[in-house]
Amino acid sequence: MYKVLLVDYDSTSSMEMLQRMPEWHGIGFELDAYANSSADAIKFLDQNYFSLILVGMNGSHHDALFLCDYIRRKSRVPLVLIGGSNDFQLARKALYYQVNDYLPDPVTSVELTSCLLTVKGELDCIIDNNRALSWTPMENETPPQPNIIERVKEYVDESLYQNITLKQISNSLHFNCSYLGQKFKYQENMTFNEYLLQQRMEKAKLLLENTDLKVYEIANEIGYTEMDWFYKKFKSYTGVSANEYRKMFSIIS
**Res 132: pLDDT:** 54
Same domain membership, residue 221 and residue 168:
yes
Residue 18 contacts residue 43 (beta carbons within 8 Å) = no
Decide if pLDDT at 242 tops 90. Answer: yes
Q: Which of 98-107, 154-163, 236-245 has the highest mean pLDDT?
A: 236-245
Same domain membership, residue 120 and residue 6:
yes
Decide if pLDDT at 230 tops 90. Answer: yes
Of the two residues 228 and 145, the one the predictor is more confident about is 228
Residue 152 covered by a domain: yes
Same domain membership, residue 161 and residue 80:
no
Same domain membership, residue 237 and residue 168:
yes
| C-alpha pair distances (Å), 4 with each of 55, 175, 186, 195, 201 | 11, 19, 28, 36, 45
User: What CA–CA distance (Å, rounded) separates 73 from 45?
Assistant: 13
Residue 133 covered by a domain: no
pLDDT (average), residues 182-209: 92
Same domain membership, residue 35 and residue 123:
yes
Residue 137 covered by a domain: no
Residue 140 covered by a domain: no
**Number of structural domains found in the chain:** 2
Last residue of some domain: 93, 128, 163?
Answer: 128
pLDDT (average), residues 109-123: 87
Last residue of some domain: 99, 128, 157?
Answer: 128
Same domain membership, residue 193 and residue 97:
no
- Closest Cα to residue 64, out of 6, 138, 116, 148? 6
Decide if pLDDT at 9 tops 60. Answer: yes
Long-range contacts of 119-122 (CB under 8 A, 24+ apart): 119/52, 119/78, 119/80, 120/2, 120/27, 120/28, 120/29, 122/78, 122/146
Widest pairwise Cα distance in the chain: 72
**Res 16: pLDDT:** 65
- Closest Cα to residue 53, out of 74, 31, 75, 80? 80
Residue 156 covered by a domain: yes
Residue 170 contacts residue 177 (beta carbons within 8 Å) = yes
Whole-number percent of the chain with pLDDT over 70: 85
pLDDT (average), residues 212-222: 94
Last residue of some domain: 71, 97, 128?
Answer: 128
Residue 233 covered by a domain: yes
User: What CA–CA distance (Å, rounded) separates 12 from 10?
Assistant: 6
Residues 6 or more apart whose CB falls under 8 angstroms from that of 123 comprise 2, 51, 52, 78, 133
Residue 203 covered by a domain: yes
pLDDT-derived band at 14 (thresholds 50, 70, 90) equals low
**Res 192: pLDDT:** 95
What does pTM read for this prediction?
0.58
SS3 81: strand
* CATH code of 232's domain: 1.10.10.60
pLDDT-derived band at 26 (thresholds 50, 70, 90) equals confident
* CATH code of 99's domain: 3.40.50.2300
Neighbours of 244 (CB within 10 A): 13
Q: Which of 19-23, 92-96, 110-114, 198-202 has the highest mean pLDDT?
A: 198-202
Residue 142 covered by a domain: no
Same domain membership, residue 210 and residue 164:
yes
Same domain membership, residue 153 and residue 91:
no
Same domain membership, residue 86 and residue 179:
no
Same domain membership, residue 153 and residue 124:
no
pLDDT-derived band at 252 (thresholds 50, 70, 90) equals low
Decide if pLDDT at 36 tops 90. Answer: no
Same domain membership, residue 154 and residue 207:
yes
pLDDT digits (tens, 9 = 90+) for 41-71: 888 888 888 999 999 887 678 788 888 888 8
Decide if pLDDT at 114 tops 70. Answer: yes
pLDDT digits (tens, 9 = 90+) for 121-132: 888 887 766 565
How many residues comprise the chain? 253
Quote the Cα angle for 108-112-114, to 5°: 115
Q: Which domain holds residue 77?
A: 2-128
Same domain membership, residue 191 and residue 103:
no
Whole-number percent of the chain with pLDDT over 90: 28
